[in-house]
Amino acid sequence: MSDIKKPQTKPSRLGMVIDIDKCNGCGSCMVACAVENNVPPVPQAAGERKAITWLKVYRVSNGQEFPNHRTVFIPVSCQQCGTHTPCVSVCPQQAVDVDPQTGVVGQMPERCLGCRYCMAACPYHARYFNWWDPVWPAGMEKALNPAVSPRMRGVVEKCNFCHGRYHAARAKAAAEGRTELAPGEYLPACAEACPTGAIKFGDLADQGSEVSQMASGEQAFRLLESLGTESKVYYLTRQPWVRQLAATPLKNGREEKHG
């Protein structure tokens, strides 16, 4: 029997908690995400349904009239479903999987054949299809993030909690003789860029982590919770109408009224 010890890593459940009451809709998270993941600028004529936005901030309102009208911003990315992951079960190419170590739902564009079943299955509209070649204005390709390859036309892509950053952090930890990451050592670009601190990221399986405690609070909820997808993106708000809204699908529109 071999006496070589394999490094043991405690399984984690990486997740996000987004405080809607703190989000001011500035869009820094969307831009940071696009820069980090080399999301190309699609042609303007593409239309909203053909554009690629791994993280999209929706503006929704309570439907009241002035001056009682209130609006909130809800950043929505892949919700990293924990069980019955719809996109995994429909993919004929095994191009989608759930990492047992982190719980992150991964997407392998090399395996994707572009059937878009996963897009149809995703209840959060968080998956995007590359309708065009990824092309940047002349010269701007020099400013791409070297850690992430642009995806080709004809495949689906989505948020993966910036797994390039995750692997870089793990490699750094391993080089320092550690098997675990310290809290905050790895952050997705959106969480890092959020100027109001509305987006928190961490290990939901760690009972002592900030995100775990926030996610178990009374103000926490998840989108379309009744579907039982056990998503790992939680939201916080003190406004009851926003929690009610979370139980209904967000339309792909400019502003949605819910009352």
If one asks whether residue 30 binds other proteins (CB under 8 A), the answer comes out as yes
If one asks whether residue 238 binds other proteins (CB under 8 A), the answer comes out as yes
If one asks whether residue 82 binds other proteins (CB under 8 A), the answer comes out as no
Enter the DSSP assignment of 102: T
If one asks whether residue 61 binds other proteins (CB under 8 A), the answer comes out as yes
Locus of tokens 């090399």 = 110
Per-residue string for binding with other proteins, 8-27, x by CB under 8 A? -------------xx-xxxx
If one asks whether residue 67 binds other proteins (CB under 8 A), the answer comes out as yes
Between 73 and 117, name the residue whose CB sits nearer to other proteins: 73
If one asks whether residue 248 binds other proteins (CB under 8 A), the answer comes out as no
Per-residue string for binding with other proteins, 95-134, x by CB under 8 A? ------------------xx------------------xx
User: Is 72:236 a contact under the CB 8 Å cutoff?
Assistant: no
Between 9 and 219, name the residue whose CB sits nearer to other proteins: 219
Q: 142: Cβ–Cβ under 8 A, 6 or more apart, which residues?
A: none
From CA 95, how far away is CA 107, in angstroms rounded? 6
Enter the DSSP assignment of 4: P
Locus of tokens 């209840």 = 123
Among 43, 81, 29, 50, residue whose Cα is nearest residue 187: 29
